[in-house]
């Protein structure tokens, strides 16, 4: 039995309800991580009891957010062929069961920088149909990757979850180092056009710097970028960093006031405060977005139908071209020509009778 450079974590409180696979070496104090073994890794899990699966493709990130809690643990980690085989086996077993409520790629670190991102995407596309699939990303590499295979696997249930912490470029750059604001926004716009059926969700950590322009941020995300859902989270800064707390910290009463003001706005549907997974957070939907999304899906379906008929036409043209260039076609051409002449003469003769 071979140990891979992957490890797994399970939520023992829910009896294997939650399974997380990631490269080894980024353990938190609260994690109980165990080495994944291959090729007998399937014997380690009862797949019929797993309904939430999380896969981290790396243990590093290509951006540096001021409020990030993962950065102290990050290091570069890459998959090898054995790891991919193990992941392929796990995905194959997961695809057999209908209990999966959530499949998430990326969480504490950035999945789009993995060299195996596209390979694993093809694995998903081959094994899943309409799966509740989520990719969590900071968006830095959105212009370098193609989410087509993941979108096919997730269908209308696919969610692209992008961290976007401000509408204003200067505020965003002050919060996130190493990210190109304009490049990310243009990538989101292109993905919205190319994949109108998927859900695009923004994650915004509210700080002292970005909370004053919250209404404009929401309108911009929904109306200009076509985002479907926004999750707002209260920034959490350790007490050991009072300077950062003073610079970007958001008092809790301000966070609550922002939440209550949004709940009074008839334009939006606002979720209840949630503290079960992340520090206080809530989501916001655009009430008119249902109609907007349906329109996008209809336009997308028309485009797909147009592509399908165009492909059929091109295939027919190709076959016709191959036939006309064949030796048999060229040899029998004179005979067909004479046959057409005889046919015309017969028609003329029948008319004059």
Token code pair at residue 297: 């899906």
Q: How far apart are CA 269 and CA 260, in angstroms?
A: 12
Cα(43)–Cα(152) distance, integer angstroms:
29
Average per-residue pLDDT for the chain:
84
Give the strand order in the sheet containing 229-234: 34-38, 2-10, 18-23, 52-55, 102-105, 133-137, 159-163, 199-206, 229-234, 281-286, 268-270
Average pLDDT over residues 6-24: 80
Mean pLDDT of 260-284: 88
DSSP 97-135: -S---EEEE-SSS-GGG-TTHHHHHHHHHHH-SS--EEE
Nearest to 56 by CA among 19, 1, 93: 19
Q: What share of the chain is helix, strand, coil (3-state, %, to 5)?
A: 50, 20, 35
pLDDT at residue 323, as a whole number:
65
Q: What is the mean pLDDT of residues 117-139?
A: 95
For position 169, what pLDDT does the model report? 95
At 142, the pLDDT band (50, 70, 90 cuts) reads: very high
pLDDT for the residue 29: 47
Q: DSSP string spanning 60-108?
A: --S-EETT-SSGGG-------HHHHHHHHHHHHHHHT-S---EEEE-SS
What whole-number distance in Å separates Cα of residue 176 and Cα of residue 165? Answer: 8
Q: Per-residue pLDDT tens for 167-221?
A: 999 999 999 998 999 999 999 999 999 998 899 999 999 999 999 889 899 999 9
pLDDT of residue 74: 47
* pLDDT given for residue 170 in this prediction: 94
pLDDT in tens, 305-351: 777 777 776 777 777 776 666 666 666 767 766 677 777 767 666 65
Q: How many CA atoms lie within 13 A of 74 on its CB side?
A: 17
Total-model pTM: 0.80
How far apart, in whole angstroms, are the C-alpha atoms of residue 167 and residue 181? 9
């Amino acid at each position: 039995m071979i140990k891979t450079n992957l490890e797994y974590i399970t939520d023992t409180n829910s009896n294997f309800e939650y399974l997380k696979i990631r490269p080894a070496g980024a353990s938190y104090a609260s994690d109980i991580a165990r080495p994944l073994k291959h090729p007998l890794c399937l014997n380690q899990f009862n797949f019929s009891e797993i309904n939430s699966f999380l896969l981290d493709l790396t243990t590093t990130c290509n951006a540096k957010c001021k409020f990030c809690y993962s950065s102290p643990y990050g290091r570069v980690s890459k998959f090898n062929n054995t790891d991919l085989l193990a992941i392929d086996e796990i995905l194959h077993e997961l695809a057999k069961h209908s209990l999966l409520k959530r499949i998430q790629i990326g969480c504490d670190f950035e999945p789009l920088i993995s060299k195996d991102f596209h390979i694993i995407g093809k694995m998903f596309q081959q094994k899943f149909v309409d799966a509740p699939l989520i990719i969590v990303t900071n968006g830095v590499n959105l212009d370098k990757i193609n989410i087509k295979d993941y979108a096919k696997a997730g269908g209308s249930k696919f969610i692209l979850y992008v961290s976007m912490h401000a509408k204003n470029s200067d505020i965003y750059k002050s919060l996130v180092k190493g990210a190109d604001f304009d490049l990310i926004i243009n990538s989101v716009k292109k993905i919205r056009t190319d994949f109108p059926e998927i859900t695009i969700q923004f994650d915004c950590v509210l700080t002292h710097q970005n909370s004053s322009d919250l209404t404009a941020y929401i309108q911009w995300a929904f109306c200009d970028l076509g985002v479907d859902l926004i999750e707002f989270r209260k920034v959490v800064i350790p007490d050991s960093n009072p300077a950062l707390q003073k610079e970007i910290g958001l008092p809790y009463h301000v966070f609550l006031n922002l939440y209550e003001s949004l709940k009074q706005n008839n334009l939006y549907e606002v979720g209840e405060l949630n503290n079960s997974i992340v520090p206080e957070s809530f989501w916001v939907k655009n009430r008119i977005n249902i109609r907007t999304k349906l329109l996008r899906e209809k336009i997308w379906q028309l485009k797909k139908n147009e592509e399908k008929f165009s492909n059929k036409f091109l295939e027919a043209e190709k076959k016709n071209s191959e036939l006309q260039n064949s030796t048999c076609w060229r040899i029998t051409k004179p005979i067909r020509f004479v046959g057409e002449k005889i046919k015309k003469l017969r028609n003329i003769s029948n008319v004059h009778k």
